[in-house]
Amino acid sequence: KAGVTQTPRYLIKTRGQQVTLSCSPISGHRSVSWYQQTPGQGLQFLFEYFSETQRNKGNFPGRFSGRQFSNSRSEMNVSTLELGDSALYLCASSLGGTSGYTFGSGTRLTVV
């Protein structure tokens, strides 16, 4: 079965712009989570969606937002980009419970 698909793979944006990243979970997975990975801070939880509802949110400013559609696909948006937003953004889907997460290959965002 297809894995978690994230698009685009690479992105270069200018400070002040906004960006939208997309994630298609494994078919049947209703939980989608987003993580930011940087060399300095490591992997940090952004938010989790389940059945179109944001269930949890990490400690990130309001410039980071997301949503989930009825087909479980998810998008995250970052507005007013800052240099420090340069990172690998990872999406993960899960059946829920204790099944573990399946991660996508990530979107590498560079802000210049």
Partner 1 sequence: SQQGEEDPQALSIQEGENATMNCSYKTSINNLQWYRQNSGRGLVHLILIRSNEREKHSGRLRVTLDTSKKSSSLLITASRAADTASYFCATDAAGGGADGLTFGKGTHLIIQP
Residues forming contacts to partner 1 in the complex (CB under 8 A) are 4, 33, 35, 37, 42-48, 56-59, 88, 90, 92, 98-106, 108
* Separation of alpha carbons 61 and 57, rounded Å: 10
User: Are 108 and 90 spatial neighbours (Cβ–Cβ below 8 Å)?
Assistant: no
Nearest-approach distance from CB 70 to partner 1, in angstroms: 22
The single-letter code of the amino acid at 20 is T
Work out the widest C-alpha separation in the chain, in whole angstroms: 40
> CB-wise, 16 or 61, nearer to partner 1?
61
Look up residue 98 and give its two tokens: 């204790």
Q: 89 is written with which tokens? A: 């953004």
Query: C-beta of 104: minimal distance to partner 1 in Å?
Result: 5
Shortest Å distance, C-beta 91 to partner 1: 9
Cβ proximity to partner 1: between 19 and 35 the closer is 35
